[in-house]
Amino acid sequence: MAEVTLFLNGRGYRIACADGQEPHIEKLGRYIDTKVQELVRQVGQVGDARLLAMASLMIADELAEARGDIEAAVPAAKPSDAAIQAIEAVAKRIDALAARLEAS
């Protein structure tokens, strides 16, 4: 198991991660720190816990918005009438085959 140190609001946090994931975790840490620094500029130093909670909310909001954008862009697939009819026809054929097998 690997370990990286993330610096958030000037404080180091040792984080365990899977081997080979260090660059990815470090990149995520830098992104979180940019959000924390943005908050520091807006509200000042209100404590690490509060800043990290606020940054988490900001990132969660970005994620929710991105998910909403994806759902809007890719509507849920609905089977067409032709697909439903084809599935029903296959089901009837399977039932007929099963009946013939039981009769023999």
pLDDT higher than 80, residue 104: no
Q: How far apart are CA 53 and CA 39, in angstroms?
A: 11
Mean pLDDT score, 71-83: 74
pLDDT higher than 70, residue 69: yes
Give the model's pLDDT for residue 86: 85
Q: How far apart are CA 78 and CA 4, in angstroms?
A: 45
pTM of the model: 0.66
Q: How far apart are CA 95 and CA 31, in angstroms?
A: 57
